[in-house]
């Protein structure tokens, strides 16, 4: 498979372009948090600074509580690998307002770009993974609508699907390994939670 060419930051910017009060975003820890925040810090983003493995289930609980809103989970391959079972938990519930987008750079980016299990096998002594295919895993867990995006020409459709297609949908996006600036949202979790609820419900 050829090396990924998609850049995560402009892609996430497109995913969130024109976000209004109907779009609720959960961002996984590390790079997805900084990616989402660079697109514009907003109260209806819940960017995580920890709780690895939480985003998909947090998105599911939110999607059930708010069935008329669109819930978009944006996270990374390593976070997704830590919570594969949550894909089956989502499939059992079939939330039609939930989209999961996994930005897969095949690395544990925050700890020094070690190979994750989505890296190819036989890639040298320090950079080999398992060739794990998260889209195939999502499909195997019972999410019928899955897809993998590799080319710039597919991004417009990805954005339409993530923002509006009947859920649950799962999209794996193969992205480049890049060294990018940390763009940080507020860190206080209670503040993030309160401003989210205030924007959504009108009270903390």
The contact set with other proteins (CB under 8 A) reads 24, 26, 46, 49-66, 83, 85-86, 88-89, 92-93, 189-190, 192-193, 196-197, 200-201
Least distance from other proteins to the Cβ atom of residue 103, Å = 19
Nearest CB to other proteins, comparing residues 45 and 119: 45
Return the closest-CA partner of residue 201 out of 44, 74, 85, 93. Answer: 44
The secondary structure element, H or E, covering residue 200 is helix 189-201
Nearest CB to other proteins, comparing residues 60 and 102: 60
Nearest CB to other proteins, comparing residues 40 and 61: 61
Separation in Å, CA 120 to CA 27, 60, 105, 150, 155: 26, 30, 11, 16, 24
**Torsion sign (Cα): 94, 136, 86, 160:** negative
Least distance from other proteins to the Cβ atom of residue 64, Å = 5
Nearest CB to other proteins, comparing residues 4 and 53: 53
Decide: 8 and 35 in contact? Cβ < 8 Å: yes
């Amino acid at each position: 498979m050829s090396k990924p060419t998609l850049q995560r930051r402009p892609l996430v910017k497109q995913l969130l372009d024109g976000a209004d009060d109907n779009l609720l975003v959960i961002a996984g820890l590390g790079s997805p948090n900084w990616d989402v925040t660079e697109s514009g810090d907003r109260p209806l983003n819940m960017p995580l600074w920890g709780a690895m493995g939480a985003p998909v289930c947090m998105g599911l609980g939110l999607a059930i509580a708010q069935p008329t809103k669109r819930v978009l989970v944006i996270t990374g391959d390593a976070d997704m690998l830590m919570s594969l079972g949550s894909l089956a938990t989502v499939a059992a519930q079939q939330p039609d307002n939930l989209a999961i987008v996994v930005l897969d750079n095949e690395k544990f980016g925050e700890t020094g770009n070690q190979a994750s299990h989505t890296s190819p096998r036989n890639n040298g002594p320090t950079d080999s993974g398992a060739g794990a295919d998260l889209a195939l895993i999502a499909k195997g867990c019972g999410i019928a609508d899955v897809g993998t995006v590799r080319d710039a020409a597919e991004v417009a459709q990805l954005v339409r699907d993530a923002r509006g297609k009947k859920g649950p949908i799962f999209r794996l996006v193969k992205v480049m390994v890049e060294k990018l600036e940390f763009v940080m949202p507020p860190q206080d979790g209670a503040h993030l939670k309160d401003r989210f609820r205030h924007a959504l419900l009108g009270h903390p």
